[in-house]
């Protein structure tokens, strides 16, 4: 019994003295839009870099760059232990909005269906990777609030802006104000 206590004390001291590396919190944000293959490749490249250096991904779960970022991150972290997705509202409300966006041709139907399936599967795979804000609907105000909440929480931001997306401009201004590393990739289509 004395040996077990001594071993536990040694383990306790070892754990207290261990230097656990800090994981940077990195936002991957993007314009709410279905993206072409070249942007998808860029998203994949940046997400791989973040994950391979051992940092944590924070994203909003929007169609386009954020959707592709989640898919890429899951290739390296299939349990989604280092991925956090912040939605502006409950998942059922978000699902309805994605389907409406597809009907209005803001995004394509395949993008909406794929993202919905992914988010519901993540709820089963690792319920803790999904966080829900308190908005009752998805609109510009709730999406901007979600993006700013992410921007205020992270240590670094990588933003994919298509055309003159105001949200990505607002987020990049917030990152500059906070003086955190920012990589703003701009695409004009």
Within-domain flag for 6: no
Within-domain flag for 73: yes
Q: Count the Cβ atoms, other than its own, within 10 Å of residue 22.
A: 10
pLDDT for residue 132:
96
Residue 115 pLDDT greater than 50, yes or no: yes
Instruction: Give the domain CATH number at 122.
Output: 3.40.50.450
Q: How confident is the model at residue 164 (pLDDT cuts 50, 70, 90)?
A: confident
Residues 5-60 pLDDT 10s:
444 455 445 444 555 567 899 999 999 888 999 999 999 999 999 999 999 999 99
Within-domain flag for 108: yes
Number of folded domains that form the chain: 1
Q: Count the Cβ atoms, other than its own, within 10 Å of residue 91.
A: 16
Within-domain flag for 15: no
Within-domain flag for 53: yes
Within-domain flag for 87: yes
User: Rounded to two decimals, what is the model's pTM?
Assistant: 0.87
Within-domain flag for 16: no
DSSP the chain: -HHHHHHHHHHHHHHHH--PPPPPEEEEEE-BS---HHHHHHHHHHHHHHHHTTPEEEE---TBHHHHHHHHHHHH-TT-TTEEEEESS-HHHHHHHHHHHHHTTSS-HHHHHHHHHHHHHHHHH-GGGEEE---SS-SHHHHHHHHHHHHHH-SEEEEEEETT-HHHHHHHHHHHHHT--EEEEEE--
Within-domain flag for 71: yes
Residues 60-93 pLDDT 10s:
999 999 999 999 999 999 999 999 999 999 999 9
pLDDT for residue 34:
86
Residues 6 or more apart in contact with residue 179 via CB below 8 angstroms:
none
- Structural domain including 117 reads 21-187
């Amino acid at each position: 019994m004395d040996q077990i206590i001594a071993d536990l004390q040694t383990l306790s001291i070892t754990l207290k003295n261990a230097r656990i590396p800090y994981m940077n919190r990195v936002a991957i944000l993007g314009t709410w839009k279905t993206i072409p293959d070249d942007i998808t490749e860029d998203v994949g490249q940046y997400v791989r870099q973040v994950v391979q250096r051992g940092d944590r991904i924070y994203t909003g779960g929007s169609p386009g760059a954020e959707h592709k970022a989640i898919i890429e991150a899951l290739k390296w972290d299939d349990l989604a232990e280092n991925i956090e997705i912040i939605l502006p509202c409950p998942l059922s409300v978000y699902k309805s909005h994605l389907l409406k966006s597809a009907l209005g041709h803001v995004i394509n139907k395949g993008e909406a269906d794929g993202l919905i399936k992914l988010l519901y599967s993540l709820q089963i795979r690792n319920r803790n990777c999904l966080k829900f804000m308190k908005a009752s609907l998805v609109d510009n105000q709730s999406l901007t609030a979600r993006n700013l909440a992410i921007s205020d929480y992270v240590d670094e931001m990588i933003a994919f802006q298509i055309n003159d997306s105001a949200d990505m401009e607002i987020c990049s201004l917030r990152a500059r104000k906070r003086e955190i590393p920012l990589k703003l990739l701009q695409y004009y289509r």
